Amino acid sequence: MNFQIFGKGGMARSVLIYSVANTAFRFTPIILLPILTRRFSPEEYGIMASFLACLNIAQMVVVMGGANSVIRAYFDRQDDPDRFARFVFNTCLINIGVSLLIALFFLLFGSRVNNALNLSGRIIFLIPVLGLLSVFFSYPQKLAVFERKPLVYSLFSGLYMTFELMASLFFIFCMSMSWQGRIAGILVTRLIAGFGSLWYLKNRGFWRPVFDFTVMKDSFAYGFPVFIHSLGVVLLSSMDRLFLNSYEGPAATGIYSVAVTIVGVTGIVIAAFGFTWTPILFKHLKEAKEKSKKYLVLATYKTGVIMTIGMLFFALLVPFLLKVVAGERYQSANIHLNWLCAGALFNGLYVTVSGYIFYFKKMKLLALISISITIIGVLLYPTLIKLNGPLGAAQANCAIFFIRFLAMLVFGYLVCPMPWLGALTRKQVF
């Protein structure tokens, strides 16, 4: 049994296909970066970045693990297609209810949120609206992946990216809006994508507007532990900018966010790797043979070496990318790049070892790890920012991703002991 990275049937080919499909959906901020950094001041860019970071957290709260619940129910739809259609509808009701609770929270504590994000007015009420519309759009996207319809998935992603890009540029340049123009572009795009997704689900027979408390309870029971984990992931990816904005101001946050956006390109490849690696991992864990365990360990080592070499090359290249895509006012972001690249590497390595807990359905353990890592982040970010200024945010980012990778490696071993040392005695070549 030989694990291939390159060549026909190798992992590299699958990762490339998934990377191309995901790039369209995630590339808008990168395309806009050289435009926005020349159009906005660091302070304006920082306010926009803080708003979007808060939106990322809100989206994860609104979805409440619903996408995972719907995907799991999708595989049982042949037994009862009508139940699946009710399942989708009632899961959307959960999403709507959560978004209303967020709006109520902003109604009660809006002034404090505005002060924390350096915002004003009622623009924060767009956060639950944008989060809900994004969740609606995620359902047909997820279904396209698990129905093995990459062209449909690519079409959704491509149309979304194109429209969001054009709408943002229209509001910024034609309407002479500042950072609010970027938000307006996202709003218009998500209105079309969100309601269009509901029409798509109804047209496919995946939407039946009948209230069913039992179905709603099943959806929540499956999705909530996943939500805890996912919320931890989003908090880890957003709290750096939120803490930095609070302690150092929007200008420092804007400069730091440029570095995060550039290094975030690696997330496209890491996500694509996750799509490719997880089915391989689950397949061999199901076999439950010592030979399969050795295969997975050696595959993990090989992948880790490739990731490390690739990230080292990227770290050498990224300062040049900063000069090309960002304006002169943002060149001080260079100090963050090495720390962020190291954090991105640990994030990639985390993907190689996190699947064991998912496969064996240790969801409570997963939630506990996520909560613990989030608490560490809440303590570590302000501590290092106070000690080292804006650089402390990048250092905390790296440290937290390393701790998360280490936690998943250790607890994954406790859940499923793997021959991490024994497999090295077997001769293998790349």
Of the pLDDT bands very low, low, confident and very high (cuts 50, 70, 90), residue 339 is very high
Give 278-295 pLDDT, tens digit per residue. 767 777 777 767 787 888
DSSP-derived secondary structure letter, 170: I
Residue 328: CB atoms within 10 Å: 9
Report the pLDDT averaged over residues 99-108. Answer: 93
Given a cut of 70, whether residue 355 has pLDDT beyond it is yes
Of the pLDDT bands very low, low, confident and very high (cuts 50, 70, 90), residue 181 is very high
The pLDDT value recorded for residue 424 is 66
Closest CA to 389 of 381, 401, 378, 399: 381
The pLDDT value recorded for residue 80 is 80
Helices (H), 7-41: 11-26, 28-39
Q: Provide the terminal-to-terminal Cα distance of the chain, rounded to the nearest Å.
A: 13
Of the pLDDT bands very low, low, confident and very high (cuts 50, 70, 90), residue 12 is low
DSSP-derived secondary structure letter, 10: -
Looking at per-residue pLDDT, the higher value among 80 and 187 belongs to 187
Closest CA to 150 of 3, 304, 321, 272: 272
Give 107-158 pLDDT, tens digit per residue. 998 888 888 777 777 888 999 999 999 999 999 987 876 676 767 777 887 7
Q: Which of 17-21, 56-60, 184-188 has the lowest mean pLDDT?
A: 17-21
Cα(354)–Cα(71) distance, rounded to whole angstroms?
Answer: 20
Q: Which of 234-238, 239-243, 391-395 has the lowest mean pLDDT?
A: 234-238
Give 25-35 pLDDT, tens digit per residue. 566 676 787 88
**pLDDT more than 90, % of the chain:** 37
The pLDDT value recorded for residue 197 is 94
What is the C-alpha R_g of the chain? 22
